[in-house]
Amino acid sequence: MATPSAAQPLPIDQLTAILNAEVARYAAKGWTVSSVQGQQAVLQRKKRIGWFWNLILTLVTAGLWLIVVIVRVVNRKIESLILTVDAHGRVSRH
């Protein structure tokens, strides 16, 4: 008796296409591609800064809060995301 086709691993080119589609989806959301090797991609982006409250606080404090905003902008943290595709085409985020 033959095993179901869903249990068999997908070809490498199909796995690569699945990973590329997922990477493109994240790139459209502002992520940059750091590296792609095999069935794994590393994406990065700078952490967002909430501009609304920073603007309000800068106006209320007559510009003193601008010092805090500048420090935050210069020292923004980088978020990293690792995408992997398993042999059956399932994409995982790490």
Count other Cβ atoms within 10 Å, centred on residue 87. 11
Q: How far is Cα 50 from Cα 79, in angstroms, rounded to an integer?
A: 16
- Opening angle at CA 60, ends 55 and 64, nearest 5: 80
Specify the pTM.
0.72
**Could you tell me which of 48, 73, 39, 77 has the C-alpha nearest to residue 58?**
73
**With a cut of 70, which residues of the chain have pLDDT below it?**
1-6
> What does the pLDDT read at residue 49?
87
The answer to whether the beta carbons of residues 25 and 93 sit under 8 Å apart is no
